[in-house]
Structure 1
Amino acid sequence: MKTQATRDKLIQIGAELIAEQGFNATGINAVLSRAGVPKGSFYHYFSSKEDFGLAVIDAFAEEYDERLAAILQAPDQPPLARLRRYFDVGRADMHSCDHARGCLIGNLGQELSSRSEAFRARLDQVFRQWERHLVACLEEARAEGEIVETLDVERLAVFILAGWQGAMLRAKTTKSQAPMEAFEQVLFLEVLGRESVPAPSAANAAAEAP
């Protein structure tokens, strides 16, 4: 249906612009212009800019949740290999945008959580869902003896998500994957007591080559 397709396109363009410059700096006219939608028609699809922002969050969260589940629930890999894959994908994403965007949900959490209760509650809900995926993966790792039984996997999941979000933010400010790699190394070596992570990926090597 054309109306739904147009709405979806506005959300997609909005997500791109918001990831690049933030929610407050993203004007409605800029979204309409890039999407090729006539000016003045925005309120046909959304009741307000806040409504639009929530729609962007919902769309991104749904898509990323499926991606996260595919990584952390992959049946052909042991649990900690899946966790490493999660970090690999995150580093590859940062490399692909030259460390300019980071996590859309994390960025919006910093910008909008104090702006309105609707934003804060929805963003918190998204983060909690991501933590549940991590908890499930870590529970498998504990059951299979990959991590010690005494680890509280729920607290560990909160720590991993918070630390990884912070590492991505720092990677943006340094224009380098070093903070992300450092977090991953400390997590596996110091917290989980596993061997250090593998050598940097090809994407990292290319980014760091002279």
Structure 2
Amino acid sequence: MPRDAAHTDTRQEILNTAYGLVGAKGFSGVGLNEILTTAGVPKGSFYHYFGSKEAFGEALLADYFEAYLADLDATLAEPGLNQAERLMNYWRKWQATQGSIDYQRKCLAVKLAAEVSDLSEAMRLALKGGTAGIIERLSHAIAAGVAEGSLTVQGEPQTTAEDLYHVWLGASLMAKIVRTDAPFEAAIGTTRRLLGLAPH
């Protein structure tokens, strides 16, 4: 295997391992030794791949959002559906992921927003850029839905996309507190209302 490929594979293995650990314990709650031991990577090699734990956190978020946005693009382009159906499928996936105990699938934006935004400017900016990418895609999908007539909104699609993202972010945090799906069910209702869809 070429040296660059081995380097990339080891770096990615560290990131992949960290998803579950950070999803379960938070960024500050996970030590580098735990990540490296779990990944089966020699402890002394971390700084060969990342300059610091903060740089590692920034890379983790960048990697996470790259995969998340690719999945969102696929969801919002699913054939045979209108834009309203695609958008509602996205929110249902959000509920299924955030309601799961599988920490590999937990949204790092939800998990880390409050924890790291005051601790690391680089990680805050990574979160800001990633969430902006999500909102931008939702805005385009909403605009397309309005154009095709599958949904209606009051005001600009961008504003509606921001409102919906905020609703779902809040619902995810409340679901952690109450440990029921009630916040998500309320978010579904709010989403359908903001998109001009009939209640389910």
Q: Normalized against structure 1, the TM-score is what?
A: 0.87
Written as runs of structure 1 = structure 2, the 5 A alignment for 1:9-28 is 9-28=13-32
Written as runs of structure 1 = structure 2, the 5 A alignment for 1:124-203 is 124-148=128-152, 150-189=154-193, 191-197=194-200
Superposed CA offset, 1:153-186 (max 9, x none) = 1100001111111111111222222211111112
Match of 1:202 in 2: none
Q: Which amino acid aligns with 2:122?
A: A
Superposed CA offset, 1:90-142 (max 9, x none) = 12223432799742122222111111221111211111100011011100111
1:73–1:137 Cα contact (<8 Å) kept: no
Is 1:91 the counterpart of 2:89 in the alignment?
A: no
1:63 counterpart (67, 76, 84)? 67
Match of 1:40 in 2: 44
**CA–CA distance in 2 between the matches of 1:140 and 1:79?**
7
**CA–CA distance in 2 between the matches of 1:193 and 1:99?**
33
Q: Which amino acid aligns with 2:80?
A: D
Which piece of structure 1 moves more, 124-133 or 1-10? Answer: 1-10
**CA–CA distance in 2 between the matches of 1:64 and 1:45?**
23
2:23–2:103 Cα contact (<8 Å) kept: no
Match of 1:104 in 2: 108
Is 1:114 the counterpart of 2:118 in the alignment?
A: yes
Residue 108 of structure 1 aligns to a residue whose secondary structure is helix
Superposed CA offset, 1:14-40 (max 9, x none) = 121111110011100000110111122
**CA–CA distance in 2 between the matches of 1:28 and 1:21?**
13
Task: Let me know the Cα RMSD of the aligned residues.
Answer: 1.9
Q: Which amino acid aligns with 2:143?
A: E
Q: Which amino acid aligns with 1:193?
A: G
Tell me by how many angstroms 1:145 deviates: 2.1
Measured at CA, do residues 63 and 22 of structure 1 come closer, stay the same or move farther in structure 2, by a change above 3 Å? same
Measured at CA, do residues 42 and 100 of structure 1 come closer, stay the same or move farther in structure 2, by a change above 3 Å? closer
**CA–CA distance in 1 between the matches of 2:173 and 2:24?**
13
**CA–CA distance in 2 between the matches of 1:196 and 1:98?**
30
Measured at CA, do residues 149 and 33 of structure 1 come closer, stay the same or move farther in structure 2, by a change above 3 Å? closer
**CA–CA distance in 2 between the matches of 1:54 and 1:99?**
19
Measured at CA, do residues 99 and 17 of structure 1 come closer, stay the same or move farther in structure 2, by a change above 3 Å? closer
Q: Which amino acid aligns with 1:56?
A: L
Structure 1 alignment gaps of length 5 or more: 198-210
Q: Which amino acid aligns with 2:170?
A: G
Q: Normalized against structure 2, the TM-score is what?
A: 0.91
